[in-house]
Copies of this chain bind each other. A is one copy, B any other.
Amino acid sequence: MGNRLHFEDFTAGQLYSLGAHRITAEEIIDFAREFDPQPQHLDPEAAKASILGGLAASGWHLCALAMRMIVDGLLGRTVSMGSPGVDDVQWRRPVYAGDDLRLDAEVLETRPSSRADRGYVRFRFTMSRVRGGERERVMLFMSSNIIGREKENA
């Protein structure tokens, strides 16, 4: 665990760029078929007639893609001990096939636990769509993560 990030490595205000992903129609449909079989996520023709105006990703698919970027970009190199939950998940804009997505994180707060071996780090995760250099926020949520302390502090 020598080079992994511990609770002590996090400070309020830190910013992380966690990854980028171009979402495809095939991914949108595969997720929807299993977890959110509504016409606007399943069928490009039916989706044109829906309030979203085209085939759009399930909001839960965006959360799952965010988690993948969080693991690949941050938790995979962190002494992560799980999360009790997330709050304030906002689906701001429909995400369409071909959209270029990015995920960023901000550390909002750090707080030691009453248990000496761990602490809580509160993050805001923001997914954006990038188009011609401009970024538009499409999804946000906050989470508290339980992160192990360095042995010498535990």
User: Which residues of A does B touch, CB under 8 Å?
Assistant: 31, 34-38, 40, 51-52, 58-60, 63-65, 67-68, 71-72, 75-76, 80-92
Contact = CB atoms under 8 A, between A and B. Distances in A.
Contacts of A31: 64
B85 A37 contact: no
A69 B63 CA distance: 18
Given A87-B87, A87-B88, A87-B89, A37 B82 contact: no
B87 A37 contact: no
A68 B38 contact: no
Tell me what chain A mostly uses at the interface: helix, strand, loop, or mixed.
mixed
Given A36-B67, A87-B89, 13 more contacts: A34-B64, A35-B65, A37-B71, A38-B75, A38-B76, A52-B82, A60-B63, A60-B64, A60-B67, A84-B90, A84-B92, A85-B90, A86-B89
Nearest to A61: B64
A80 B91 CA distance: 16
